[in-house]
Amino acid sequence: MKRSFVLLAIFVAAFACLPGTSPSGDLQHIAYQPETIALQDPPAFVRMVIPQDNPLTIQGIALGRQLFYDPLLSADSTQSCASCHQPLIAFTDARAVSVGVKGKRGKRSSPSLFNVGYYYKGLFWDGRSSSLEEQAFHPVRDELEMALGWEEAVQRLQQHPTYPVLFRKAFGIKNINQIDSVLVARALAQFQRTLISSDAKLDRVKRGEATFTASEERGAHIFSDSSPDDIPVSECVHCHVDPLFTNLEFFNNGILTPEEQMLVQDKGRFSITGRRSDLYKFRTPTLRNIALTAPYMHDGRFATLEEVIDHYASGGHFAENVNPNVRVLHLEQEDKADLIAFLHTLTDSSALYNPAYQRPVASDVKF
């Protein structure tokens, strides 16, 4: 937990004692002294790619955290990024599909943001955005999410009593009129890159700091298809690869019935590529903290892990591009229970309760 409190301390320092802006909007009297930081990638994780034009700084991360939790960026000032990505449920929202301003129902479930800085094969369920910076443009202007045009969003920030100072400290702007959507996206991306989950029970077992129960151990063998002859396989490991527990690829996992394939409007990856082979393909979600992120699948159709496992055990529904690993499995109730026991070892309480990831409170921000 030491790293958590260090992060929180630098966020507090970044917000402390902020001087005001001048009547002309000039900000050059405010010191611009960004402090870069280097994230320590957890063991077995690949190196996180940080864009050269958006290095991580104490001030940029702190600004991104403030923006992430601020409903100012929504049309009616009721929705923030955190409305659909709540830290204590692994930055999801416990809904089948997200709900935006004025109760508008979205199209898909909100995915977890933990470890999203390592996602280099596209973001969103369909991979439409290539980076966190590019991804940040979508929710603010989406009519089913925050529904605020960027022109108005920028005006609100420029006219805000404190945000101009924060942007100056983070990015060195000289005047409030230099606040724009690009800088908002960069700040949000910096904060999201700090959302790292790598201290679940499984990780502690690997480090020799904990041991599995008999059920968890058996479930681990079923999950990884490393079982003795008398224990069945599950095919999970082909798509949910340690340490992220996703391979970041896009698959049709056979959840749509033939009738749904004829009628459903959400075509998944196909809507981005136009390739027939991408029909109904969606990104493999992470299984880290999976016990907390129900309901499951891109449309939230499964309420429990039991339902998810029953789906895969059944072999799913036919389509010409269903992943070949989706096939009938021979899992008894004990096998399913042990598999779920293992999945619970992927819950990372230290990340869920990391104070640096939580909503800023008055003691954090001293304008």
Q: What is the DSSP string of 133-186?
A: HHHTHHHHH-TTTT---HHHHHHHHHTSSSHHHHHHHHH--SBGGG--HHHHHH
- What is the tens place of the pLDDT at every residue in 32-46? 999 999 999 999 999
pLDDT band at 229 (very low <50, low <70, confident <90, very high): confident
Quick one: pLDDT at residue 72?
96
Give the amino acid at 346. L
pLDDT band at 3 (very low <50, low <70, confident <90, very high): low
**3-class DSSP assignment, residue 57:** strand
Token pair, residue 22, equals: 């001048």
Q: How many CA atoms lie within 13 A of 207 on its CB side?
A: 11
pLDDT band at 366 (very low <50, low <70, confident <90, very high): very low
Quick one: pLDDT at residue 367?
32
pLDDT band at 16 (very low <50, low <70, confident <90, very high): very low
Quick one: pLDDT at residue 19?
55
The DSSP call for residue 258 is H
Q: Which of 276, 183, 290 is nearest to 240 (CA)?
A: 290
Quick one: pLDDT at residue 24?
80
Gap between the Cα atoms of 117 and 295, Å rounded: 23
Taken in order of first residue, the domains within the chain and their CATH numbers are 2-197+350-357 (1.10.760.10), 201-347 (1.10.760.10)
The DSSP call for residue 88 is G
- Range 282-297 average pLDDT: 98
Per 3-state DSSP, what percentage of the chain is helix, strand, and coil (rounded to 5)? 40, 5, 55
Q: Which residue's entry shows tokens 């909503």?
A: 359
Gap between the Cα atoms of 364 and 316, Å rounded: 49
- Tell me the pLDDT of the chain averaged across its residues: 93
pLDDT band at 361 (very low <50, low <70, confident <90, very high): confident
Q: How many CA atoms lie within 13 A of 152 on its CB side?
A: 12
What pTM, to 2 d.p., does this model score? 0.92
CB contact burial 100-109 (16+ within 10 A = b; e otherwise): bbeeeebebb
- Range 121-126 average pLDDT: 96
- Range 153-173 average pLDDT: 97
Gap between the Cα atoms of 279 and 144, Å rounded: 23
- Range 230-245 average pLDDT: 95
